[in-house]
Amino acid sequence: MSNRIDNTFETLRNDGQAAFVAYVCAGDPDYSRSLEVIRAIADAGADVIELGVPFSDPQADGIVNQLAAERALKAGMSVPRLMDMIREFRSTHDTALVLFTYLNPVYAYGYEKFHTDAAAAGADGILLLDLPPDEVANNQELTSSEGLKHITLISPSTPPERIKMLAEQSEGFIYALSRMGVTGAQAAPSAHIGELVQSIKQHTDTPVCIGFGINTPEQSATTASVSDGVVVGSAIVNQVAENSDASTLPAIIGEFIQPLIHATKNPEQA
């Protein structure tokens, strides 16, 4: 069953363009300004928005995203408020939404209930960072996950046979890590990321997007030229942190990502 993610990538593929995927932490710096920021990101032309679900122990995240989660939690963000935010965003925008999270908040809310409520609110996909897909088959309660596309994560260290397995069961899009480590813009993408993309594409037609360490138009263009999409997260989150007190925060974020989007869409011009 297709949804906004599938429709977005089909349109981009027909136009010969890569997707721009923007990550922000839901509720950072607070609920109302976070909602304004994601609307500004959509207005700027992002194809997919990844909403981080604040969690107290985000072990796969670097310091920038850890602090964003901390700010959001201190401001009162919760999974029920996340559902409210998705509904409010859907009242004005149709941009595809993917929830970027760990299993703990989902499991605590109720695994099946989370999927049902998030899909009903208007979310399209979910990336569970610490739930290996093959573990789902061993836990009956984790198989009730209709309504959201489960995004697959593949890293440069993933063995070939596991790449094949993950690629063949992928849906929505595949998030390929540009390098090892945690999230953050402090290290540039690997020069060999194109090789990982090609190894994945041997086994699937699912779009492959690259993230981790992308924070300049030049990096966006290079990444777009070898993939189906570019994911920018920590660089945007850092802008939120640096300008959290500014009344023009949404405009600042929109202006920051526009050159990144332009480079993604027009890599030959960067």
Instruction: Give catalytic residue positions.
Output: 50, 61
Q: Would you tell me how many other CB atoms lie within 10 Å of the CB of residue 191?
A: 10
Helices (H), 122-248: 133-136, 160-168, 193-201, 217-224, 234-242
With b for 16 or more beta-carbon neighbours within 10 A and e for fewer, the 101-119 pattern comes to: bbeebbeebebbebbbbbb
Token output for 32: 């109302």
| Residue 79 near residue 54, CB atoms below 8 Å | no
Which DSSP state fits 186?
Answer: S
Q: Is 140 helix (H, G, I), strand (E, B) or coil?
A: helix
Nearest to 45 by CA among 28, 21, 23: 21
